[in-house]
Amino acid sequence: MTTNDSIFAKKEDGTNVNYYIFPEFEIHLNSVPGNTTQGWHTHQNIEEILVITAGQIRVETIVDDKKSHKDCQKGDVIRMNNSLHRILNLQNTEATFAVFRFVPQGMDNREIIKNDKKEYSDSEVATILNRE
């Protein structure tokens, strides 16, 4: 998909978001200006995972009536775990991150995920391409 295929939203805080919505999951790309604090929120049914792609952000969470934070940088992966949370960019420069959202089904699919790759030789690929 290209950016033109996404649903674009500019939030009140200045954050730009491109949403890519699929039947079983959603990905959105956030661009958060420097010195920006997003609002507190939770999700009732979805799992939300962030991957920082540039800059630094702070993720504040409240779990069991206790507030905590984690400072995150490029390459970090953050699982929100249905917490009450918000994102802050405390730097003077823009930060970007991808958000993966899906509705968990309560099944452990780790073995499928780890082993669901079938490799092909060049000759097998040539055979597939010549099946016309």
What is the per-residue pLDDT across 36-58, written as a single tens digit (0 to 9) for each?
999 999 999 999 999 999 999 99
Residue ranges of E strands in 22-92: 25-32, 36-37, 47-54, 56-63, 66-73, 77-79, 84-89
Per-residue confidence (pLDDT) for residue 129, from 0 to 100: 95
Per-residue confidence (pLDDT) for residue 131, from 0 to 100: 84
pLDDT of residue 8 exceeding 70: yes
pLDDT digit string, tens, across residues 96-126: 999 999 999 999 999 999 999 999 999 999 9
What integer is the mean pLDDT of 5-20? 97
What integer is the mean pLDDT of 63-80? 97
Give the whole-number percent of the chain exceeding pLDDT 70. 99
Per-residue confidence (pLDDT) for residue 82, from 0 to 100: 85
Per-residue confidence (pLDDT) for residue 132, from 0 to 100: 63
Sign for the CA dihedral angle at 65, 67, 68, 71 comes to: positive
CATH number of 3-107: 2.60.120.10
Mean per-residue pLDDT over the chain, rounded: 96
What integer is the mean pLDDT of 14-33? 97
Q: Which residues contact 116 (CB under 8 A, 6 or more apart)?
A: none
